[in-house]
Amino acid sequence: MPYLPPKLFPLVICGGLLGLSLLAALPAQASEMDELASTQRLLDQAQASLERARVAAAQADPAERGRFYFDYLRATTDLNTVRAGIDHYLTPSRAQPRYTGAVTGQYRRERP
């Protein structure tokens, strides 16, 4: 076994612990991605269930309808907002250059 000076021992231990923590973080990152992908699938199922409930409510007898109703449009919009947020997190895009329009170069105007 090679000789390790006592002053380098804490540095080697810290480096080893840092390496192990980085290796342990990789499965956690993959696990987060897997869980968010699972959430996306659950949102798809919730959307399908919501659509079935909307159709059933539309086909129900008007006399059986109560004073209040479920706002299916708002619920669908909220599900789409959550889905878009997860999509944006899972597939980040780098900043794109902003198009500011063409420069005309004509700055002199005649007074009326």
For residue range 53-96, what is the model confidence (pLDDT) as tens digits?
Answer: 999 988 988 888 788 888 888 889 998 999 998 988 888 777 66
Answer yes or no: pTM beyond 0.75: no
Using the 8-state DSSP alphabet, how is residue 24 labeled? H
> Above pLDDT 70, what percent of the chain?
57
Which residue in 73, 70, 93, 92 sits closest to 81, CA to CA? 73
What is the per-residue pLDDT for 69?
Answer: 84
| Residue 33 predicted with pLDDT over 80 | yes
Give the torsion through C-alpha atoms of 56, 57, 62, 68, to 10 deg: 160
Per DSSP, the three-state class of 108 is coil
The amino acid present at 87, given as its one-letter code, is D
Helices then strands, each counted (H, E), the chain: 2, 0
